[in-house]
Structure 1
Amino acid sequence: MIRSDTRQRALAVLLAIVTLTSSITAGVVFAAGPAAAHDDHTAGGGTDGSNEWATDSDAFRKETVLSGLQRPTETVFLPDGRMLVIQQGGEILIDDPDTNGGAETYLDLKNVDSIESQRERGLLGIALAPDFQQSGEFYLYYTRLANPNAEEKVDTDPRNVLAKFEHVENGGGTASRGEPAGESIEDAILWRNEIRAGNSIVCCHFGGGLDVGPDGKIYITTGDEFQGWRAQDLSVPDGKVIRLNQDGSIPQDNPYANDGDPETLGEIWASGLRNPYRAKFAPNGNFYIGEVGGNKEPESQEDINIGQKGANYGWPDCEGTCEDPSYTDPLYTYSHGESGFRPGAAVTVGPVYTGDAYPDEYDNVLFYSDYNDGWIKYLTLNDDGTEVGASYNFARQAGAIVSMTTGPDGALYGTNYIGQTGEGSIIRYVYEGTDADTVPSIDSTSVTPQSGAAPLDVTFERPPATPTATT
């Protein structure tokens, strides 16, 4: 049931009509309307493996919010509802839905740093500080060249970095801008990771998940840089979950911060990951990690893990369910053969839905998508979010989704990296329901008294439970 007054207003209208009637039959029954979409999940899609998708029905409408983007990688909302969209090349756009005036450039890293954005390098992640409304601080995860003027490309010293920036309100709306925190970009950089292998710059597998946990710590998910052994090596930060204080220092309660081994890195919080491209904290504190799997078709697995201190998720020794107590198995996994439409797969974990614009059955589901196959699905979870009930189909032709979030309007927003025109976009799914879903049907009613001279006052007793659209 949608959490709105729609049903109650409809009921009030019906009751007003009842007061004009002098004789009414007995028995009030609220009949369930037809499903808003498909199958056993009434306003949702069919279970994974079926060909029934929630957004195939009239209940959902897909909208394009922004178009003409250049390789967008993530979208976040400011506390006042304005939207920031980061693009791999380094430009960040700000859009104000209240003005409909179009997005403006909020910050371009090319103007403040030597960003490098070829292949999978570039601007990959953004997170707001917990006290953003007071401090205006936010964090970016991106690739830069520490020595951009070197004669040889390998000597440009490429690194993935975490840097702190500040929001400048200016006149508000799309006039606001972002700038490095500190007097220079070097002052803004909190953490560095070299991405060089011998005489080559690493092309791929840098992860990209960036979020601030309920503990106030910054979490970054890094990839194995196409060298699987690095995910198991605690002397390098690759294929890991990195956990930092907001000033970039190492929390002393990290699992290897005080282990007595000078070879291990204190910033490592978990290990054994291949390419954890997206990671999100849920409101209950669970840290969900979407890990893109290997290249063996069709048996390679896409994993959704729950972040745990000191966990080892098994890569490159295994993926999916490892059946080895040394490794932490995923919350959910699917093979490339099960993914659907073509060889390969690339999972992106999205938000746990806590909005109020979708039916109740979407409460606390975990959305996830596949960049390769272009779909969005969701997992129903138990009360603490640590076990999966089932996977359901949401949208079969969502696009090349690389991140998802819930907007202030309660809609699911997706960052579409590239469309058929070669440009990216921001999309959202708006729930509209159906007449049968929003207005209760009444099979019969009863009132006291049943007859009398007009005008006649009658008493109507409500059912003990609020009617819903579910069966």
Structure 2
Amino acid sequence: MMYALKSSIGMVTAAMLVSPLALAQPDSPMQTQAGDAKVDVLAEGLVHPWGMAFLPDGRLLVTEREGRLRILDSDNSLSDPVEGVPEVFNQGQGGLLDVALDPDFPRNSLVYLSFAEPGDGGASTALGRGRWEDDRIQDFEVIFRQQPKVSGGNHFGGRIVFTPQGTLFLTMGERFKFEPAQDLSNHLGTIAHLNLDGSIPEDNPFVGREDAEGAIWSYGHRNIESAAMHPETGQLWIAEMGPRGGDELNLPEAGRNYGWPVVSWGEHYNGNDIADPPTRPEYADAAVHWTPVISPSGMAFYTGEAFPAWQGSVLIGGLTAQGIVRVDGNAEAEVERIPLGTRIRDVEQGPEGNVYVLTDQQNGKVMRLSPVE
């Protein structure tokens, strides 16, 4: 596997439904730069789990792409599907996607869900919220819809990230339609910046332009399934999937164009170059890019005490990488691969500082990385 830096020359080689008593243990501890770690399978039997969020009581909400929301209890049992979840477009990469708790959840009990929504013309990414009450979602309402709805089942994006300013970001793929990612009159291939009720902040970069959608924060993206807020700088970080090569780590800035499909560090699936050179001054270049791909999905900044050597760095789930890709907190380099031997869809830090991942499988799992005592 390889990764490349914007400032480097060339490429740089980089080094579940079960009973509580049936937790899988590795044959031996896994060596990491933060010391030996063990991997426990907490649950399995989840069908392509996609997103997760911890409730204040320590239980874990997990989405399944087919359209179910489940609760992983403290005894590692999985609940029946939670009631109140919206109908989803369950085709291809579409379905129920991310789940996130409102920053003021202890007071307002609001849960946010992103999902592929069916409708006239096909499907698009949507964002909604409802109240968490008696382990179900009440009064769910859609607060934002990607426009337009189009045919096909690829590239929905769907990650939800809250900001310190009381707003949120929603990532949206270009639905495998390519050119619309350069057209500000639609939401394909963009990141939306929204108030928590789905309305558009007045200081968004394209507000007031008749030829642009006011919700857009940045554009020229392909498919973003990794996103997180830097805990110290308040800067949004994303990792997006390239085509054949050219996965990117970006720090999206308001109003910037990230170039897809005009420029890319990757190539088309038929082997043809997308651009030569792979970047231009008018497009924001990637902070880090990967060829071969890692297929990034899920992202979390590590701030816990369980793995001190990881503090301040970002952990990115890798579908093709089949593990966790760790990047330094300055977005300068990949610094470690943590192999898990399976497609990783999401990564979260638990309240106790351990690391939790979802595996992207028909028999998907919730796994926990913790230090060997």
Shorter chain as normaliser: what TM range?
Answer: 0.7 to 0.9
Letter in 2 for 1:373: A
Cα offset, 1:62, TM superposition: 0.7
Distance 1:262 1:195, change over 3 A: closer
Q: Does 1:102 align with 2:67?
A: no
Matches within 5 A, 1:11-410: 49-50=14-15, 54-55=31-32, 59-97=36-74, 100=75, 102-105=77-80, 107-108=82-83, 113-146=86-119, 155=120, 158-168=123-133, 170=134, 176-181=135-140, 188-194=141-147, 196-197=149-150, 201-258=151-208, 261-284=209-232, 285-295=234-244, 300-320=245-265, 322-336=278-292, 339=293, 345-359=294-308, 361-381=309-329, 385=330, 387-388=331-332, 390-410=333-353
Cα offset, 1:196, TM superposition: 4.1
RMSD value, Cα = 2.3
1 or 2, which has the higher strand percentage? 2
Matched pairs, number: 336
- For residues 100-153 of structure 1, the C-alpha deviation after alignment (integer angstroms, 9 at most, x for no partner) is 1612135246xx54322111111111221110010000211112334xxxxxxx
- For residues 57-80 of structure 1, the C-alpha deviation after alignment (integer angstroms, 9 at most, x for no partner) is 981101111111111001111223
Q: Tell me what 2:367 maps to.
A: 427
Cα offset, 1:397, TM superposition: 2.7
Q: Are the aligned partners of 1:107 and 1:179 in contact in 2 as well (CA < 8 Å)?
A: no
Q: Tell me the distance in 2 between the aligned counterparts of 1:253 and 1:211.
A: 18
Distance 1:280 1:101, change over 3 A: closer
Q: Tell me the distance in 2 between the aligned counterparts of 1:328 and 1:57.
A: 33
Letter in 1 for 2:346: S
Letter in 2 for 1:139: Y
SS at match of 1:105: coil
Q: Tell me the distance in 1 between the aligned counterparts of 2:303 and 2:341.
A: 21
Cα offset, 1:180, TM superposition: 3.0
Q: Are the aligned partners of 1:279 and 1:288 in contact in 2 as well (CA < 8 Å)?
A: yes
Letter in 1 for 2:170: I
Q: Are the aligned partners of 2:326 and 2:336 in contact in 1 as well (CA < 8 Å)?
A: yes
Letter in 1 for 2:248: D
Cα offset, 1:267, TM superposition: 0.4
Q: Tell me the distance in 1 between the aligned counterparts of 2:76 and 2:369.
A: 21
Cα offset, 1:323, TM superposition: 4.0
Q: Tell me what 2:7 maps to.
A: none
Percent of aligned pairs with the same residue? 27
- For residues 16-63 of structure 1, the C-alpha deviation after alignment (integer angstroms, 9 at most, x for no partner) is xxxxxxxxxxxxxxxxxxxxxxxxxxxxxxx9622xx83499811011
Q: Are the aligned partners of 2:218 and 2:252 in contact in 1 as well (CA < 8 Å)?
A: yes
Q: Tell me the distance in 2 between the aligned counterparts of 1:194 and 1:241.
A: 13
Q: Are the aligned partners of 1:195 and 1:225 in contact in 2 as well (CA < 8 Å)?
A: no
Cα offset, 1:166, TM superposition: 1.0
Q: RCO higher in 1 or 2 (8 Å CA, sep ≥ 6)? A: 1
Structure 2, gaps ≥5 residues long: 1-11, 16-29, 266-276
Q: Tell me the distance in 2 between the aligned counterparts of 1:114 and 1:96.
A: 25
Q: TM-score, normalised by structure 2?
A: 0.84
